[in-house]
Amino acid sequence: MALQLYLDLNSQPCRSVYIFAKKNNIAFEFKPVSLAEGQQYTEEFEKVNLLKRVPALKDGDFTMAESVAILKYLAGKYKTPDHWYPANLQQRARVDEYLAWQHTTIRFHGSRLYMFKGLLPLLSGEPIPTDKMDEAVSDLQTSIRLFEDKFLQDRPFIAGREVSLADLVAIVELMQPLGVGFDPFKDRPKLCSWRDRVEAALGKELLDEAHEKMMKRSGSLSNLDVNSPALQRFAIGLKKTYMSWRLSPSGCKSTC
């Protein structure tokens, strides 16, 4: 049975898995899962991932979730070039360090801004309060400064001189706010130079292909049936994650 990847390319982690598999010529069957339509809650998908989240992988009888774990699994099984997940202990540690940090910082803050400027106002029928929007922008900017100062420094890429899983995960997260008109690269020459290097390493055509759906999403939001049970269930989860509490730029939870 062919490798199956369950993905929604509106999701950043799904895009990282998709790009990695495509870039490394890993044959797979694309199994689309629409989060907005609630397909992650179906009994069929639950058999693949009880967590009801994407991405998910099915390799014969073996199934697994979580994008970082999937990326490492694919790198190991298909023996992809060493630069993705280096054998060198310290270079691999740099990759792991970023992947451990990004969940509650770059990922959370970028996603929060995307939801504040995109789906949540549509689903709630009212704009996000100005102070919450300002807070979301400030938190993302602080995380980006930490990314530049701690993880990028003066290196071409996070782990050294070649692109790695860390750079791949970072670029898809940082591109997410572009889908709602916020440019995290603006007035950041170091970040822009890094983006150009990552784009060159991954291939602009592949990067654009993976992001096409997300970049067009804002224009199609008005077509969503916001009163559908599936979307309302999705909305409840989003509000709980992004409105009821927040993470500080360091990743510590605090009340909102």
β-sheet with 29-32: strand ranges across: 29-32, 4-7, 56-59, 62-65
Alpha-carbon distance values, 137 to 85, 115, 116, 142, 233 (Å): 31, 12, 10, 9, 26
pTM greater than 0.75 (yes/no):
yes
> Could you give the count of Cα atoms lying within 13 Å of 172 in the half-sphere of its Cβ?
29
Going residue by residue through the chain, which has 256 residues, state the pLDDT in tens, using 9 for 90 and above.
689 999 999 999 999 999 999 999 999 999 999 988 889 989 999 999 999 999 999 999 999 999 999 999 999 999 999 999 999 999 999 999 999 999 999 999 999 999 888 878 877 777 888 999 999 999 999 999 999 999 999 999 999 999 999 999 999 999 999 999 999 999 999 999 999 999 999 999 999 999 998 887 655 555 666 666 666 666 666 666 666 545 445 555 543 3
3-state secondary structure of 29: strand
Evaluate whether 137 touches 117 at the Cβ level (below 8 Å). Answer: no
**What pLDDT digit, counting tens, does each position of 25-64 carry?**
999 999 999 988 889 989 999 999 999 999 999 999 999 9
Q: Report the DSSP pairing between strands 4-7 and 29-32.
A: parallel
DSSP 8-class letter at 155: S
